[in-house]
Amino acid sequence: MSGDYVLIGTTKEDADELIKLNSFMFASSSLEITLDSVEPSVEAQTLKTQLQAFLSSRYNGEAKLLRLDGLSQDPAIIQAGFLETSERAEKMFKALMKVCDDLFKSRKEKEDAIESISVASNMVDNAKQIVVLADTFPDIKNLDLRDNQIPNTQGLLAFKNRFRMLRTIYITGNPIETAQPNYQAELLEWFPRLQDINGIQVRTPEQVAAAIEAAKPKPIPLSGPDFRDTNNIGENFLVDFFSSYDNDRGGLITRYYDEASHFSLAVDVNSVRDPGTPLPLPWAAYLKYSRNLTRITHLNARVQRLFRGSNVISDLWRTLPQTRHPDIKQEMTKYIMDCHVLPGLADPNSQAMAGVDGMIITVHGEFDELDPKSGATGKRSFSRTFVLGPGNPSRNPIRVVSDMVSLRAWNPLPNIFAHTAENAGETASQHAAMVEELAKQTGMTHQFAELCLSDESVGWDFAKALAVFNEKRVSFSTRIACTSLC
């Protein structure tokens, strides 16, 4: 902190992303971000050279092993005075990890170069002292903690929910072995892929795979989209919308948006993502405008991120990255869409005081995106909710009242159509049983029982069908009685 400023030391790549937040509104104030390149001192350069030489001497490329064990006995470390105090020793370890970060261009390079790390015989009594190891090498498969001073699992708590790819851990020669003999059970919970503890297999690869699968979030059961269109308004709008959004955003705005239309977008950077899918493109192009209400809590900031009017929306859309959505007609499995009539919308002609009917459409899907800076392409998943209403006089008969977009890392959608087909036989069997039972209870023929159950107001709800039958029967009996009396 320096007065009203926060000074941040970062890499050039991260600085390029941070500068995009310049003028970003935060807590009703505009952020001011400037770049200032700082050259390291001669002392810092000398230290970096020393640490690089040390790391080079401790790296076994053939085994993909980095040996950081027994640092207190290493002549180079002692000569440099890195262990003169515990504070300096901790700083030295952080400096080692910083040098490692600078040696690799990407997380993938680290993963390919180093699979195993040993920090044995370093008098470590709490993982907090070396937790930077998990930040620098999150994907290692083997970790050696032997002959330290770790007293119990509390001493390892800083590693919990880290090292998600860890398969083997060695922890013999620590007080934890006698103080907490059942520590292995906790380690198995913390490290989902752990198979080997102290050279003993504690679970098989098959058990690991089953445990990972069981831990995944369970999707809400899907029964197929509910698309109740009227005169193909919803279908025609969606086909036109996504094609035009990719190719002619200006024309799209002119056709469907007016001075009262609303638009907002929200970015969910922490959405659940399949580990096997590619990492998402940077979010910087969207974050400045994101109206994620779980993060944007200040009222003024929320208001500023709700864009109203075709001109404002058009200006915003021009700044957003280029996209390419799948063809709805040709690739229906890339979307899940719902559509319903929505009553009570404001009448643009100001005649219907009770409001007019509109339509609400929800679309879940994906699109390809081009990063204009790097030229890279990637996929994103989205959810988009439209509220459509009657257009203003002398304009397009359809207008967008509200357009809300939620963006998240790409995950393929379940094939809802395949799911529906798989359950078609079961549904038909259930319907046949309901027809049989209704005919039995009411005395109707099977044909009339099926007509009653399939009526739009009943929707194959047996209780509703029976109630409708009894209501009609009472009404019919009353009319017969009246006719007979007359």
Of 410, 108, 406, nearest to 272 (Cα)? 410
Least confident range from 122-136, 216-230, 446-460: namely 216-230
pLDDT of 423 strictly over 60: no
Tell me the C-alpha distance between 73 and 75, whole Å: 6
Cβ neighbour number for residue 188 with a 10 Å cutoff: 17
Quote the pTM value.
0.50
442 burial (CB, 10 Å; 0-12 / 13-18 / 19+) is: middle
- Secondary-structure breakdown of the chain: helix, strand, coil percentages, each rounded to the nearest 5: 40, 20, 40
Least confident range from 2-11, 131-140, 342-351, 372-381: namely 2-11
Residues near 434 by Cβ (< 8 Å), separated by ≥ 6? 453, 460, 462, 465
3-state SS assignment for residue 240: helix
- Give residue 426's pLDDT band: very low, low, confident or very high (50, 70, 90): low
The more confident residue out of 483 and 371 is 371
Residues comprising the chain, all counted: 486
* pLDDT at 481 (0 to 100): 46
For residues 453-477, average pLDDT: 75
Domains of the chain are 1-38 (no CATH), 44-215 (3.80.10.10), 233-414 (3.10.450.50), 430-485 (1.10.8)
Express each pLDDT in 41-83 by its tens digit.
677 677 778 788 888 999 999 999 999 998 888 887 777 777 6
281 burial (CB, 10 Å; 0-12 / 13-18 / 19+) is: buried
Cβ neighbour number for residue 342 with a 10 Å cutoff: 17
Least confident range from 173-187, 296-310, 386-400, 463-477: namely 463-477
Of all residues in the chain, what percent carry a pLDDT higher than 70? 90
- Quick one: which H or E segment has residue 406? strand 398-409
CB 285 within 8 A of CB 320: yes
**Secondary structure (DSSP) of 128-168:** GGGTHHHHH-TT-SEEE--SS---SGGGGGGGTT--TT--E
pLDDT of 183 strictly over 90: yes
Of 116, 132, 34, 18, nearest to 69 (Cα)? 116
- Give residue 383's pLDDT band: very low, low, confident or very high (50, 70, 90): very high
For residues 315-329, average pLDDT: 93
CB 410 within 8 A of CB 404: no
Distances (CA, A) of 473 to 446, 455, 476: 17, 17, 5
3-state SS assignment for residue 402: strand
For residues 455-459, average pLDDT: 80
Of 147, 149, 152, 146, nearest to 181 (Cα)? 152
pLDDT of 319 strictly over 90: yes
Tell me the C-alpha distance between 371 and 42, whole Å: 38
DSSP 21: G
Please state, rounded to an integer, the average pLDDT across all residues of the chain.
Answer: 85
Express each pLDDT in 121-136 by its tens digit.
988 899 998 999 999 9
For residues 443-451, average pLDDT: 84
Of 321, 333, 325, nearest to 239 (Cα)? 325
